[in-house]
Amino acid sequence: MTALPTAPRPVDPGHVSFDRMWAELAPVGRHAATGGYRRFAWTSEDGTLREWFVAEAARRGLDVVTDRVGNLWAWRGDPDAAAAAGTPGLVLGSHLDSVPDGGAFDGPLGVVSSFAAFDQLDAAGFQPDRPLGIACFGDEEGARFGIACAGSRLLTGAMTSERGLALTDADGTTMADAMRAGGHDPAVVGRDEETLRRIGTFLELHVEQGRALGDPGHPAEGAVAVGSSIWPHGRWRFDLEGRADHAGTTRLEDRDDPMLIAAEVIQQARASAQSHGCVATVGKLRVLPNGVNAIPSLVQTWLDARGADARAVRNTVSHLASTVGRTAIEESWTDATDFDAPLVRRLSELLDGAPVLATGAGHDAGILATAGVRTGMLFVRNPTGISHSPDEHAETDDCHAGVDALARVVEDLAGEPA
Ligand code: HGY
Ligand code: MN
Ligand code: MN
């Protein structure tokens, strides 16, 4: 008996458009040697990504607005009229920039999935009762100027424009000059009330960057989870000064070599984090003059410390500083962020009891939540949990499941009573 031909699976328009967009973005800012992405704020790669976002919005008849900080917002409907009428918009989105040699999914998965969810909903003839938006936050990773979520921090006033615009990159270029070169006037940068008023709810879909969804048998095993909270976390810098000298002619007993202190900072950071139940990372050093045969005059050492308990994180850093006898200069701090609890419950219910997970990763959603915006997150499984690496990966089916989940919750949230 010949098997009846199985009916071809209906093509999901959102999945088709997701795959198209994903393929289009893949080469932008990808480093040939490492396979990692170098998509840094206000660079030419950033400009290409911004053009891509605007083109995708135009493809769907969405109006694109650039806010005072340079974040992009694609709108369907009139967010100002809706806000005035008491039903501000539902906004999806994430970021397109990366850490140095980052993966393809951290950020872009949320932006691409948002456009694809719009396509899914359009194909189903969904008529939202409020404006729908897609946000593309600039400079989420802080890879070039050193402060993560710079776009959302400047938008909400969590970081002053004075501080942000004066930040410099490794070449000494200020954020203000980089913005200007990227076509955005730094003179207008600052908290943007008009933009914030338009947002009723912000929902960020993001790759999980953890292993809860991917571990077979883990209670959270599945394709999509709901975010509950973000760990408190911060960035500190140690400026370790020494005396420049010759690597060959300077006796060991005559040296004042800051690299030895840096080595102690790195080792003790791990030990202090371990003893305080936190995580700590030294991923970046700046060595002057950075010559193989020159004892450094200065070694700047950056520390990233995080944990479920803010006091423990701060104790990790203060214990480290006292152990090495040096000052930890705080560059940024983000308090623990809890997403809107009723929204978290609703998202989990809408997604058939999807697991609810905390995360150690910072997100623009966390900055908006801290600024009082009703915010939620969805996480998509990346089985290895690896992120901030060219090896970051999520399966296409799971990415499609993320699009479906986003479309499902938009149908509910964009029809809820005001
Ligand atoms: O650092 C973070 O957690 C985020 O990737 N910016
Ligand atoms: Mn990231
Ligand atoms: Mn991210």
212: confidence class by pLDDT, cuts 50, 70, 90: confident
Q: Which of 330, 321, 305 is nearest to 261 (CA)?
A: 321
CATH 3.40.50.300 fits 13-230+336-417, yes or no: no
CA of 365 to the centre of ligand 1 (A): 11
Q: Is 57 in the pocket of ligand 1 (CB under 6 A)?
A: no
CA of 50 to the centre of ligand 2 (A): 18
For 360-371, the pLDDT digits (tens) are 999 999 999 999
What is the Cα–Cα distance from 6 to 244, expressed in whole angstroms? 74
Q: Is 141 in the pocket of ligand 1 (CB under 6 A)?
A: yes
pLDDT at residue 58 tops 90: yes
* Ion ligand 2 — residues with CB < 5 Å: 106
What is the Cα–Cα distance from 327 to 211, expressed in whole angstroms? 35
Provide mean pLDDT across the span 276-293.
Answer: 98
What is the Cα–Cα distance from 203 to 398, expressed in whole angstroms? 18
Domain segments of the chain: what residues?
A: 13-230+336-417, 233-334
* Residue 46: strand, helix, or coil: helix
CATH fold, domain 233-334, is: Alpha-Beta Plaits (3.30.70)
- Asked if 144 and 29 touch (Cβ cutoff 8 Å), the reply is no
Query: How many other C-beta atoms can be found within 10 angstroms of the C-beta atom of residue 8?
Result: 6
Position 216 scores a pLDDT of 76
Averaged pLDDT of the chain: 96
Give φ, ψ of 345 to 5 degrees: -60, -45
Cα Rg of the chain (Å, integer): 23
**In ligand 1, which atom is closest to the CA atom of 140?**
6
Q: Is 362 in the pocket of ligand 1 (CB under 6 A)?
A: yes
pLDDT at residue 77 tops 70: yes
For 85-95, the pLDDT digits (tens) are 999 999 999 99
What angle do the packed helices 108-123 and 13-25 form, to 10 degrees?
150
In percent, the amount of the chain with pLDDT more than 70 equals 96
- Asked if 164 and 150 touch (Cβ cutoff 8 Å), the reply is yes
Q: What is the DSSP letter of 87?
A: -
User: Cα separations (Å) of 347 from 91, 153, 379, 405?
Assistant: 15, 26, 12, 9
The encoded tokens of residue 295 equal: 């004892």
pTM over 0.85: yes
Q: Which of 49, 82, 209, 117 is nearest to 410 (CA)?
A: 117
The residue to mutate among 96, 97, 109, 140, having the most atoms of ligand 1 within 8 angstroms of its beta carbon, is 140
Position 6 scores a pLDDT of 65
